[in-house]
Structure 1
Amino acid sequence: MTTKKKLSLTSRIVIGMLAGIAVGIFFQFILAGAEERQLSLLGLSIPLRAFFVDGIFHIGGEIFIASLRMLVVPLVFVSLVCGTCSLSDTSKLGRLGGKSIGLYLITTALAISLAMALALLTGPGVGVELQAESTFDVSAAPSLAQVFINIFPTNPIQSMASGNMLQIIVFALLFGIAMALTGKAGERLAGIFNDLNEVILRLVTILMNLAPYGVFFLLAKLFTFIRYETILNLFMYFMVVLTVLLVHGLLVYPVILKALTGLNPIIFLKKMREAALFGFSTSSSSATLPITMETVTKKLGVKNTISSFTVPLGATINMDGTAIMQGVATVFIAQLFGVDLSFSDFLMVILTATLASIGTAGVPGAGLIMLAMVLQQVGLPVEGIALIIGVDRLLDMTRTAVNITGDAMVSVVVGKSEGEFDESVFNDPRAGLKEESIDFHHLRDS
């Protein structure tokens, strides 16, 4: 008897994405030019938008995002405590922090420099003369000083409740160090945390099997409302940002990986496909963090002592995709309003956007708030942000995929340099695949 081969999780996610896009376009077509259309079924009149788009698609997508976000705080805290308490040598923690933060900031500076260079070369906003008017209201961006002050929690429980990732990371690091220095009591507590970490990772695996459905609901709703004329009006801006994102994700990261580790970048990119699809679908580095952690550990071969530190840190401070958007948007808005930026202005944008990436939350749309701070630093009208909101959602999806690819690349580099890396797992094309599917009938019967 032949058994039917199951589709891989990646294949099912792609099918969910394509189906969601197709259904969204279909609903946009049939709802065009009408406040509401009705579907007659079994004598009942069902409002299409309220029932499907604002109902089923919205609820399904929000439940999927909520289920991922549910895991973020416990996963970051528990895994980071486990990784930190296993480092009996506290100087190793300093090395990990120095290497990780240094690489993240360097790749961010490269990203925004490349973005502004291509924007200046192509001139997406040249020839348009706009007048600045205060028509766009944006939340106030925190100062750089306040960003650094906010890293340290005054109430760690409140930090966990509000999802303040930087404060959670700092508290987890301090808690893990204290456990490592406590002796027998710390060892007993470490065993509990390690068991808890295994349970959380199993929960991640279970939720991953629901991803194709969540992706379908998210994209079906998005493509129902997307305004195609807005994308056409900002086509040049869109293509410049997209080009830099692809170059950075598919060229810059692999080159850095090859130069610093000698590993095959093609293998790396292939194993990142699934996590990148998650990032693209959710537009949230934080929501994708459980899947990124799973990929880095189980497929790329980075030991948990490294990944539990570098991946949560990267989801918080590594915002290369956001920096690319900010670089191109700054040049684009300056060209639209006819403002000439000096060389010192460009340097200020690079510095500000690089440091601002540390304070950019890993949630959809947070980059727009930080863009306001970048624009203010060089005297550009903040209302220019309103011009790019129409296409930012699609770009947000792509830059999230770039961000998590950068998180994984830095994790591999740091893991390799610390000797906490299994190259046989990295080179094994089937590594981690056994975790993709769960036999729920077996779980129920056992």
Structure 2
Amino acid sequence: MEVLKNYRGIFWLLGGIMAGSIAGLLLGPRVGIIKPIGDIFLNLLFTAVIPLVFFAIASAIAHIDASHRLGRVLGVMSLIFLSTLLIAAFLTIVAVWIFPIHQKVVLAPIAEPGSTGTFGDQLTRLLTVSEFYELLSRKNMLPFIIFSVLIGMAAMRAGERGASFRRFLHSGNEVMKDLLTLLMKAAPLGLGAYFAYQVGTVGPQLFGTYAHSLGIYYGFGTIYFLVGFSFYAFVAGGFKGIRTFWKNNIIPTLTAVGTGSSIATIPANLEAVHKMGVPASVGNVVVPLGATLHKDGSSISSIIKMAVVFAMFGKGFDSVNVIVMALGITVIVSIVEGGIPNGGYIGELLVMSVYGFPPEALPPLMVIGTLVDPLATILNATGDNVAAMLVTRFLPKRPAVSV
């Protein structure tokens, strides 16, 4: 019953989507009359995302303990987190190339983003805006995220002078998290209406694309869990490291499945990494921070979702620029989404912003993110344990940080 309680949000969402899909199959184009319900839901999400991202990022950075941020543990940890995220993302891209996602029905062809000017000009437009008000558009998510990071850093550096502002950021973050939780209660109805419209106008061919993408995720994700984590454990401690990791990773894995939460798995992870031989000075830093910053499962799902919407909107997912951008977005998404309920949706909005997809791209992204959640949670949560082993392996003998 506890497992059902933890996943009831997913069940309600899937129930709404299934009901909408059936209505679309039965009523065909006539179901378009309920499309405004889906549009209203998406518009509410679009308007909430800007303040949500700002408070989540700025608050998290503003409350970092400045005395630890340059410590050796955090430095090595950051490199390990970044490396495993990029490895997971790149291998997923290779899997998508080997098993390409074919979509016969294009939802809505879109124009390629403008490429006028030099590379420097394009990079400037991608990372910054010239007016403050332009930051408040979801079409400029990446510049807005950079701005939020800078605000958070300034609030942290201000020390006592910025105490009141940091409390404001914390309070704002709590309010916006509750707002998103409230909006997501309408997700079964909103996404159900949108899928009724899509199935009614496009047809059941969409189901094949979803099934194919889920097959890639669960197939590759399982291989990465077994083979990839075993490889990391071998790097950390040889064959003994592999035995130690899997012997003590069973309980965290079951906890992640039962709770559906990386945060809720922290106690099991802390006990597991202790048994794996990870010092408390490492485990007590890597595991809690990893629960919000290190998400291999989210890295894999980000690539899968990008590949799906590229196929649905008739764009190629194979050019160098697209791949480099995809890797960068994956890293940002994995870091940003940790402290936000349903944080994966923030990453999906970032994908839409950077690549110029229309609002119709959000429902497919949200559905795939929902369906892959169980395995993604396992990868996100237990990946912190093997990361702690790697940090221990590469940390200098006399770490600067102790907890």
TM-score norm. by structure 2 comes to 0.59
- Among 273, 276, 285, the alignment partner of 2:253 is 276
The answer as to whether partners of 1:140 and 1:369 remain within 8 angstroms in 2 is no
Q: Which amino acid letter does the alignment assign opposite residue 212 of structure 2? A: M
Compared with structure 1, are the counterparts of its residues 131 and 357 closer, same or farther at alpha carbon in structure 2 (3 Å cutoff)? same
- Among 240, 261, 272, the alignment partner of 2:237 is 261
Q: Are 1:347 and 2:320 matched, yes or no?
A: no
The answer as to whether partners of 2:233 and 2:386 remain within 8 angstroms in 1 is yes
> For residues 349-394 of structure 1, what are the alpha-carbon distances to aligned partners after superposition, in whole Å with 9 as ceiling and x for unaligned?
1122213322122555311211221333233345323024334323
- Among 87, 108, 126, the alignment partner of 1:110 is 87
- State how far apart, in whole Å, the 1-side matches of 2:355 and 2:271 are: 40
Compared with structure 1, are the counterparts of its residues 98 and 150 closer, same or farther at alpha carbon in structure 2 (3 Å cutoff)? same
The answer as to whether partners of 2:88 and 2:296 remain within 8 angstroms in 1 is yes
Q: Which amino acid letter does the alignment assign opposite residue 117 of structure 1? A: V
The alpha-carbon deviation at position 256 of structure 1 amounts to: 1.9
Compared with structure 1, are the counterparts of its residues 147 and 309 closer, same or farther at alpha carbon in structure 2 (3 Å cutoff)? farther
Q: Are 1:307 and 2:283 matched, yes or no?
A: yes
Compared with structure 1, are the counterparts of its residues 346 and 416 closer, same or farther at alpha carbon in structure 2 (3 Å cutoff)? closer
Q: Which amino acid letter does the alignment assign opposite residue 86 of structure 2? A: A
- 1:397 alignment partner in structure 2: 374
- 1:326 alignment partner in structure 2: 302
- 2:216 alignment partner in structure 1: 240
**Structure 1 segment 16-165 matched on structure 2, within 5 A:** 17=3, 94-131=71-108, 141=141, 143-149=144-150, 151-152=152-153, 153=156, 154-155=162-163, 156-157=166-167
- State how far apart, in whole Å, the 2-side matches of 1:252 and 1:315 are: 19
- State how far apart, in whole Å, the 2-side matches of 1:285 and 1:260 are: 22
Q: Are 1:415 and 2:392 matched, yes or no?
A: yes
**Structure 1 segment 349-368 matched on structure 2, within 5 A:** 349-362=326-339, 365-368=342-345
- State how far apart, in whole Å, the 1-side matches of 2:306 and 2:312 are: 10
> For residues 213-256 of structure 1, what are the alpha-carbon distances to aligned partners after superposition, in whole Å with 9 as ceiling and x for unaligned?
xxxxxxxxx9xxx99x9977621111111222222222112202
More displaced, 394-403 or 364-373? 364-373
- State how far apart, in whole Å, the 1-side matches of 2:94 and 2:220 are: 10
The alpha-carbon deviation at position 397 of structure 1 amounts to: 2.2
The alpha-carbon deviation at position 162 of structure 1 amounts to: 6.6
- 1:184 alignment partner in structure 2: none
- State how far apart, in whole Å, the 1-side matches of 2:216 and 2:108 are: 24
The alpha-carbon deviation at position 296 of structure 1 amounts to: 2.0
Q: Which amino acid letter does the alignment assign opposite residue 119 of structure 1? A: V
The answer as to whether partners of 2:89 and 2:299 remain within 8 angstroms in 1 is yes
SS of structure 1 residue aligned to 2:372? helix
The alpha-carbon deviation at position 157 of structure 1 amounts to: 4.8
The alpha-carbon deviation at position 274 of structure 1 amounts to: 1.9
TM-score norm. by structure 1 comes to 0.54
- State how far apart, in whole Å, the 2-side matches of 1:386 and 1:333 are: 10
> For residues 52-78 of structure 1, what are the alpha-carbon distances to aligned partners after superposition, in whole Å with 9 as ceiling and x for unaligned?
xxxxxxxxxxxxxxxxxxxxxxxx9xx
**Over aligned residue pairs, what C-alpha RMSD do you find?**
4.1
- 1:431 alignment partner in structure 2: none
**Structure 1 segment 132-211 matched on structure 2, within 5 A:** 141=141, 143-149=144-150, 151-152=152-153, 153=156, 154-155=162-163, 156-157=166-167
> For residues 410-429 of structure 1, what are the alpha-carbon distances to aligned partners after superposition, in whole Å with 9 as ceiling and x for unaligned?
111222444889xxxxxxxx
- State how far apart, in whole Å, the 2-side matches of 1:158 and 1:304 are: 33
5+ residue gaps, structure 2, are 20-59, 111-136, 157-161, 175-187, 196-203, 399-403
- State how far apart, in whole Å, the 1-side matches of 2:102 and 2:373 are: 20
> For residues 182-206 of structure 1, what are the alpha-carbon distances to aligned partners after superposition, in whole Å with 9 as ceiling and x for unaligned?
xxxxxxxxxxxxxxxxxxxxxxxxx
The answer as to whether partners of 1:108 and 1:319 remain within 8 angstroms in 2 is yes
SS of structure 2 residue aligned to 1:242? helix
- State how far apart, in whole Å, the 2-side matches of 1:287 and 1:159 are: 24
- State how far apart, in whole Å, the 2-side matches of 1:158 and 1:19 are: 33
More helix by share: 2
Compared with structure 1, are the counterparts of its residues 406 and 20 closer, same or farther at alpha carbon in structure 2 (3 Å cutoff)? closer
The alpha-carbon deviation at position 268 of structure 1 amounts to: 0.9
SS of structure 2 residue aligned to 1:249? helix
SS of structure 2 residue aligned to 1:264? helix
- 1:71 alignment partner in structure 2: none
Say which one has the larger Rg. Answer: 1
Identity %, equivalent residues: 20
The answer as to whether partners of 1:284 and 1:363 remain within 8 angstroms in 2 is no
Q: Which amino acid letter does the alignment assign opposite residue 128 of structure 1? A: V
The answer as to whether partners of 2:348 and 2:366 remain within 8 angstroms in 1 is no
The answer as to whether partners of 2:2 and 2:258 remain within 8 angstroms in 1 is no
The answer as to whether partners of 1:234 and 1:388 remain within 8 angstroms in 2 is no
- State how far apart, in whole Å, the 1-side matches of 2:96 and 2:292 are: 27
The alpha-carbon deviation at position 120 of structure 1 amounts to: 2.6
5+ residue gaps, structure 1, are 1-14, 34-75, 165-221, 422-446
- State how far apart, in whole Å, the 2-side matches of 1:282 and 1:138 are: 32
Compared with structure 1, are the counterparts of its residues 402 and 387 closer, same or farther at alpha carbon in structure 2 (3 Å cutoff)? same
